[in-house]
């Protein structure tokens, strides 16, 4: 393929791949999430909590049904969020890439079809396409010494997204303040974000960066993964244990399985600041990813 | 914790026998309602075009495909968070005779009181389990107010719809409140 031929073909590939990822994320629950849900069912059985067991069983039965009949797992087709990792050696027009991802959402919505959720914030008028001003959200990352392109996609569900919190704590409130705030957020969220949930926490940065980190932690991190920073990973483990000891349980009806994971992402912050952001992901933990090689080969992975 | 199979429309007696954490399955017809549907009824004062006496109302905005001839095919029908629509619940029970709300996330004190006074229940479905829910809805029987798509007033024919968990009964009990009280206590010791 000529260089200009490849240059044009990549945007078609991005469009097709983005469309396929949107639909896949809504149908095929990631393996790490399935595993954590299955452990949750076992935990509720051990505790003899009939209601919680019933809820966990229904969740897993629903995932199997969606697999078997090629159906959407949940009716909420979410807000489309893309995270694109671009190799530094790749010659790509980022504006065209964004336009291709927008078309991918419009196509998925029309061709499947998917329910559209995108409305104007004041008039509440529907766009009908699951796109609109600022939507889809496209986050770009640049990878040194690479010529690959990776697209991660999450159709972020709204029941959990409505449970988003930010607090600019004082530095003097320290780690204790962070822990207390996270537990307060769990209490406030209650049954609404469809627990068992994935709790995403953003520490440090500025207000906007903290929220971004929380979204990365709730939506793009795998369940069962740990932050590479030892102290942060220890806080993840401690908070997961505490969140599950609240007893909120599956669907907020009581039980041992309140969270599948507590993931923390962090950045340095100003000496006078202690920002903590919390973003919740529901049990569906929806996400899908694919890489497009320099030769134009598309590979889908978890 | 008993298991019940109920036929719609529901009677007051059928609803008042239900206890917290009982499981319920429903046969018959249920109505789909969401924010915009109830804003039209209660804020804009438009009478609902269907008889809701003894009705089971599901908090939903389904994903559908319109077929030639005007009928709708179901794509994905699931449940949305009820607390957003809490303020409409007492009116549904008092003015229109609704007996059960099916949703996720629970309802607030005003609705709990109304359910006790008028004979109503809140049945928790497993939020996000839309594949099962869609299969249990046999067909979309009728649609009113299509201009509100997808937040129209829907009538679905259902078979073995559930399992639903009685999370607010007609004796003023809420499983959500019981759990939240426990969570609040435990957080004191954990924070």
Inter-chain touch B190–A248, beta carbons under 8 Å: no
Q: What pLDDT shows up at residue A1?
A: 44
Instruction: Read off the CATH number of the domain in which A114 is found.
Output: 3.30.1330
Identify whether A250 is part of a domain: yes
**Residue B189, CA atoms < 13 Å, CB-side half-sphere:** 7
Q: What pLDDT shows up at residue A294?
A: 86
What does the DSSP 8-state code read for residue A157? Answer: -
Inter-chain touch A184–B134, beta carbons under 8 Å: no
Q: Is A48 exposed, middle or buried (0-12, 13-18, 19+ CB in 10 A)?
A: exposed
Q: Which of B183, B186, B188 to mutate to test the interface with A (most CBs of A within 10 A)?
A: B183
Overall domain count for chain A: 2
Residue B25's φ and ψ, nearest 5 degrees, are: -120, 150
* Count of CB pairs separated by less than 8 Å, A with B: 158
- Closest CB to B127: pick one of A115, A180, A194: A194
C-alpha span between A232 and A221 (Å, rounded): 14
Inter-chain touch B179–A249, beta carbons under 8 Å: yes
Average pLDDT, stretch B125-153? Answer: 95
What does the DSSP 8-state code read for residue A74? Answer: S
The interface pTM score, or ipTM, of the predicted complex is 0.93
For domain B3-190, give its CATH number from 3.30.420.40, 1.10.760.10, 3.30.9.10, 3.20.130.10.
Answer: 3.20.130.10
Say yes or no: A198 contacts chain B, CB-CB below 8 A.
no
Residue of B nearest to A184 (CA): B187
- Closest CB to A251: pick one of B76, B127, B191: B127
List pLDDT tens digits, range A149-197. Answer: 999 999 999 999 999 999 999 999 999 999 999 999 999 999 999 999 9
Same domain flag for A277 and A294: no
Q: pTM for this structure?
A: 0.95
Same domain flag for A210 and A297: no
Say yes or no: A192 contacts chain B, CB-CB below 8 A.
yes
- CA B105, chain centre distance (Å): 11
**Alpha-helical runs (H) found in chain B:** 12-16, 35-38, 89-96, 109-118, 130-136, 175-190
Say yes or no: A283 contacts chain B, CB-CB below 8 A.
yes
Residue of A nearest to B191 (CA): A180
Identify whether A33 is part of a domain: no
What percentage of chain B exceeds 90 in pLDDT?
Answer: 97
Question: What are the beta bridge partners of residue A139?
Answer: A83
Per-window interface: A 147-176 vs B, CB < 8 A: 157, 159, 162, 176
- Taking alpha carbons only, the member of A169, A259, A166 closest to residue A218 is A259
In chain A, residues with a C-beta closer than 8 Å to the C-beta of B167 are 253
Q: Which of A34, A75, A255 to mutate to test the interface with B (most CBs of B within 10 A)?
A: A75
- CA A203, chain centre distance (Å): 17
Same domain flag for A9 and A140: yes
Inter-chain touch A187–B61, beta carbons under 8 Å: no
- Taking alpha carbons only, the member of B34, B21, B25, B32 closest to residue B7 is B25
Same domain flag for A134 and A8: yes
Same domain flag for A79 and A128: yes
- Closest CB to A247: pick one of B23, B80, B179: B179
C-alpha span between B60 and B104 (Å, rounded): 10
Say yes or no: A77 contacts chain B, CB-CB below 8 A.
yes
Same domain flag for A85 and A188: no
Q: What pLDDT shows up at residue A275?
A: 98
Say yes or no: A54 contacts chain B, CB-CB below 8 A.
yes
In chain B, residues with a C-beta closer than 8 Å to the C-beta of A112 are 75
Average pLDDT, stretch B166-172? Answer: 98
Identify whether A53 is part of a domain: no
Say yes or no: A296 contacts chain B, CB-CB below 8 A.
no
Domain range for A121: 3-27+73-157+286-301
Average pLDDT, chain B: 96
The alpha-carbon gap from B158 to the nearest alpha carbon of chain A, in Å, equals 17
List pLDDT tens digits, range B40-82. Answer: 999 999 999 999 999 999 999 899 999 999 899 999 999 999 9
Query: What is the band of B27 on the pLDDT scale with cuts at 50, 70, 90?
Result: very high
Identify whether A67 is part of a domain: no
List pLDDT tens digits, range A129-154. Answer: 999 999 999 999 999 999 999 999 99
Same domain flag for A77 and A196: no
Residue of A nearest to B177 (CA): A253
Q: What pLDDT shows up at residue A4?
A: 55
Same domain flag for A122 and A168: no
- Closest CB to A77: pick one of B63, B179, B182: B63
* Strands ordered across the beta sheet of A288-292: A137-143, A79-87, A149-156, A288-292, A298-301
Backbone φ/ψ region at A128: left (φ over 0), alpha (ψ -120 to 50), beta? left
Average pLDDT, stretch B121-127? Answer: 97
Identify whether A48 is part of a domain: no
For chain A, 302 residues long, give each residue's pLDDT as a single digit of tens: 445 555 789 999 999 999 999 999 999 999 999 999 999 999 999 999 999 999 999 999 999 999 999 999 999 999 999 999 999 999 999 999 999 999 999 999 999 999 999 999 999 999 999 999 999 999 999 999 999 999 999 999 999 999 999 999 999 999 999 999 999 999 999 999 999 999 999 999 999 999 999 999 999 999 999 999 999 999 999 999 999 999 999 999 999 999 999 999 999 999 999 999 999 999 999 999 999 998 899 999 86
């Amino acid at each position: 393929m000529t260089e200009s031929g490849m240059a044009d073909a990549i945007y078609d590939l991005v469009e097709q791949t983005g469309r396929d990822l949107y639909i896949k994320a809504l149908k095929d629950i990631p393996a790490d999430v399935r595993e954590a849900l299955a452990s949750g069912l076992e935990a509720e059985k051990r505790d003899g909590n009939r209601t919680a067991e019933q809820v966990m069983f229904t969740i897993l039965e629903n995932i199997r049904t969606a697999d078997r009949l090629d159906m959407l797992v949940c009716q909420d087709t979410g807000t489309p969020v893309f995270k694109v990792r671009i190799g530094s050696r790749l010659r790509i027009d980022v504006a065209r890439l964004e336009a291709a991802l927008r078309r991918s959402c419009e196509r998925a919505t029309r061709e499947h079809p998917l329910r559209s959720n995108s409305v104007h914030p004041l008039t509440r008028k529907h766009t009908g396409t699951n796109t609109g001003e600022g939507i889809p959200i496209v986050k770009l990352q640049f990878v040194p010494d690479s010529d690959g392109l990776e697209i991660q996609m999450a159709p972020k569900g709204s029941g959990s997204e409505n449970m988003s919190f930010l607090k600019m704590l004082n530095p003097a409130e320290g780690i204790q303040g962070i822990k207390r705030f996270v537990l307060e957020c769990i209490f406030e969220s209650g049954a609404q974000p469809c627990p068992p949930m994935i709790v995403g926490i953003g520490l440090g940065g500025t207000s906007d960066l903290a929220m971004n980190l929380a979204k990365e932690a709730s939506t793009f991190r795998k369940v069962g993964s740990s932050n590479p920073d030892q102290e942060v990973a220890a806080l993840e483990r401690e908070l997961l244990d505490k969140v599950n000891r609240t007893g909120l349980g599956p669907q907020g009806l009581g039980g041992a399985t309140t969270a599948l994971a507590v993931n923390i992402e962090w950045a340095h912050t100003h000496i006078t600041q202690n920002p903590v952001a919390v973003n919740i992901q529901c049990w569906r933990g929806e996400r899908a990813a694919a890489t497009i090689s320099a030769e134009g080969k598309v590979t889908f992975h978890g | 914790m008993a298991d019940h199979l109920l036929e719609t429309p529901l009677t007051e007696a059928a609803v008042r026998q239900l206890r917290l954490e009982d499981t319920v399955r429903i046969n018959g017809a249920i109505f789909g309602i969401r924010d915009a549907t109830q804003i039209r009824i209660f804020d804009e004062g438009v009478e609902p075009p269907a008889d809701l006496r003894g009705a089971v109302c599901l908090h939903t905005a389904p994903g559908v495909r319109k077929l030639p001839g005007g009928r709708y095919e179901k794509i994905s029908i699931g449940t949305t968070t009820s607390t957003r629509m809490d303020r409409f619940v007492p009116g549904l029970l008092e003015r229109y005779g609704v007996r059960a709300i099916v949703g996720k996330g629970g309802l607030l004190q005003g609705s709990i009181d109304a359910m006790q006074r008028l004979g109503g229940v809140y049945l928790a479905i497993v939020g996000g389990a839309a594949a099962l829910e869609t299969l249990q809805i046999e067909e979309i029987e009728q649609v009113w107010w299509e201009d509100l798509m997808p937040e129209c007033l829907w009538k679905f024919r259902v078979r073995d719809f559930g399992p639903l968990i009685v999370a607010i009964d007609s004796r003023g009990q809420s499983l959500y409140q019981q759990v939240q009280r426990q969570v609040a206590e435990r957080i004191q010791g954990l924070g």
